[in-house]
Amino acid sequence: MVPRLPRPGCYVAVNGTATAVLLAAARSSGLSWEDLGLSRDRLPAGLRCGGAWAGMVAGGYAVALAVPGLRPLLADARVAGLGGREIAHQVLVRIPLGTVLWEEVAFRGVLPAALARVGSVRAATATSAVVFGIWHVRPTWDALAANDLADGPVRRTLGVLLGCLFTGAAGVLFGRLRARSGSLLAPALLHLAANTLGTGAAAVAHTLR
């Protein structure tokens, strides 16, 4: 996610434009589509790898919804007030095109490919994961505030730190899937499943209370 924009409606447009500009810059610098994880030849491998992980995520959310004691873990005040149309927009437009596309191209495509030119692939993946975690400072802070979690600046700061560490760890996993499959499609499918299904599960959890 990007930091909150002055006009929420700009989110997808701004991130989509940033993605296009970043890809153009990467290509002009000499990075190939294969370097960026966008080779057509690797799409089947990306689909198999990412699809398997996305299926596990879907199963996890299904179990959490089926067990009453686990449903509170899915609750999110940011979703509770949304109507069906707004949730559909989040799941079908904002998350895929505004969040996942931009973050995967930036943090699993261009950044590690550029860093791999001056260092090892492992170091490039690790650095990209760290930057990915830091990128989520503001969204994590907003999520804690919206859900009345971690009262006080000290606890809130600790919560943000833990949230960013978790996101950084997710970035390592995404990076490993990208390296294993050779395709951005693998981490993108897992990322998409986690965010879109998480939003849908949160909406369902609120209705089952």
For the cut 80, the answer to whether the pLDDT of residue 46 exceeds it is yes
Structure tokens at 182: 């050779």
For the cut 80, the answer to whether the pLDDT of residue 3 exceeds it is no
Which band of pLDDT confidence, cut at 50, 70 and 90, is reported for residue 155? confident
> How confident is the model at residue 4, as a pLDDT?
42
Lowest mean pLDDT across 66-70, 109-113, 203-207? 203-207
pTM value is: 0.91
Of all residues in the chain, what percent carry a pLDDT higher than 70? 95
Which band of pLDDT confidence, cut at 50, 70 and 90, is reported for residue 1? very low
Contacts of 172 (CB under 8 A, 6+ apart): 125, 126, 129
Rounded Cα gap, residues 77 and 198, in angstroms:
13
Q: What are phi and psi of 148, to 5 degrees?
A: 55, 45
Lowest mean pLDDT across 41-50, 67-76, 130-139? 67-76
Secondary structure of the chain: what % helix, strand, coil (to 5)?
80, 0, 20
Lowest mean pLDDT across 6-10, 34-38, 122-126? 6-10
**Structural domain boundaries of the chain?**
35-207
